[in-house]
Amino acid sequence: MLRPSARDDTLRQAVFFATHELDDTDVRLVRHYVADLASRHLARLFILVFRKESSQPLTAAELEAWRAREAASGAEIFLWNEGGLRRLFPHLGSALASSKSLAHTPRAFNKYFFFHASLLLWDATFGGSYPSLAFMWRMEADALFAGPLSRMVDLASAVHVDVLLPHIERQQQNPTWPHWRRNEAILAGVPPEKRLMSLVPIGRYSRSFLNGTMAHRWAAGRIGYEEITIPTTCATSQTACSMESMHVTAKIRSAKRCVYRPVWNCSDYLRARQQRTNELWHPVKDRTCIVEWLDPG
C-alpha cells in the first residue's frame, strides 16, 4: 500500500478489487463498495493495482496521484508487479519462461498464470497487520454482483470452504474448453474426476489455502492456468482442502452471466442490480451507468 496499514485484530475477511487501471468511474464504484461493507461490518475492501511497467520507484507526482485516488475511494491501494512476485517466489520467473502451457496460451490469457499470487504478495507485505484474517476475496473490476456487495459476502458467510468459485466443472462436463489441451502437462497424472476448472474473475479463498497449498506450489515453480490449477490443486492436495461452487449453498447465481464472452451491456446489468437477482455478471467493461445510479450527484 502507499503507507503502512493500521493494525486490525478483528478483520476476518478482505475483498481485493483487482485492476490494471483505476479511473474515476471505478474510484466512485469502490467508494460505494467500501461504504456498503463498512455498514455491515462484514469485510474490508482493498485495491490491487497491477503495474505493467518496470519496477521503477514512483515519482513524487505519481505517488501524489495514487494517494489522491486512495483518499477519494476510501480504500487502501497496493501497487504490485511481476518483479515483486519473483522476489517472493524466486522460481516463478524460470517457471514462466519454460512453461509449455504458457507457451501454448494466447497472450491475452498469459497473466492468468500468476495473478492470484498477488494475494500472497500483499499478505507477505501487510498481512501482519491483520492476524485474524481468515478469507481473502479477489474480485476483478469487471466482475459485478447484482446486489449490494455486502449481500454477496453475507450469502457466502455460511459456506466454510477453502475455495469458493463461480462454477466448478469437471473436464468431462466441458471437454472442448481449449485450456485443457494447452495445460496437458500440468494435468498429467491427475485422475479425470479431479481435473477441474472454473472461471476466476471472482473467488474467495481461505488464507490457510493460499499460504499453504498454493504458496508451496508457487514456491516450487509449479504454475499453470489458474482457472484449472486453483480448483485442481485443491482437489489433489495432500492436506484437507474443501471447495464449492457459489450457487450450491451461497445461492449466488453465476453460470449464465459469469462468462468470458459476451461483454455485458451496463444497462442490462443495471436492471439485474436494481432487482437484486444475486447474480454474478462478468465481464461488464463499461460501468458508468451503475456508478451514475449509485451516485447520481
What are the tens digits of pLDDT across the range 212-228?
999 999 999 999 999 99
Average pLDDT rounded to a whole number, residues 43-70: 89
Is the pLDDT confidence value at 59 over 70?
Answer: yes
Mean pLDDT value across residues 122-144: 97
Q: Which residues contact 27 (CB under 8 A, 6 or more apart)?
A: 69, 72, 73
- Structural contact between residues 76 and 84, judged by C-beta atoms closer than 8 angstroms: no
Q: What is the mean pLDDT of the chain?
A: 94
On the 0-12 / 13-18 / 19+ scale of CB atoms within 10 A, 79 is: middle
Phi, psi dihedral angles at 76 (to 5 degrees): -70, 140
116: left (phi over 0), alpha (psi -120 to 50) or beta: alpha
What is the predicted pLDDT for the residue at 57?
82
Tell whether the model's pLDDT for residue 53 goes beyond 90: no
Which of helix, strand or coil describes residue 169? strand
Give the pLDDT of residue 296. 74
Tell me the pLDDT tens digit for each residue of 233-283: 999 999 999 999 999 999 999 878 999 889 999 999 999 999 999 999 999
- pLDDT mean over 1-15: 85
Torsion angles phi and psi, residue 249, rounded to 5:
-110, -40
What pTM does this model have?
0.96
Helix%, strand%, coil% for the chain, nearest 5: 45, 15, 40
Residues 13-250, CATH architecture = Alpha-Beta Complex (3.90)
* Over residues 120-140, mean pLDDT: 96
pLDDT at 297 over 70: no
* 73's grid cell: 475511494
Instruction: Count CB atoms within 10 A of the CB of residue 26.
Output: 20
**Is the pLDDT score of 1 beyond 70?**
no
Q: How far apart are the C-alpha atoms of 34 and 15, rounded to whole Å? A: 10
Quote the percentage of the chain above a pLDDT of 70: 97
- Of the pLDDT bands very low, low, confident and very high (cuts 50, 70, 90), residue 97 is very high
Inform me whether the pLDDT recorded for 3 exceeds 70.
Answer: no
Q: For cell 516450487, name the residue.
A: 220
Domain residue extents for the chain: 13-250
3-state secondary structure of 71: helix
CA distance 39 to 265: 29
Q: What local confidence, expressed as pLDDT, does residue 4 receive?
A: 63
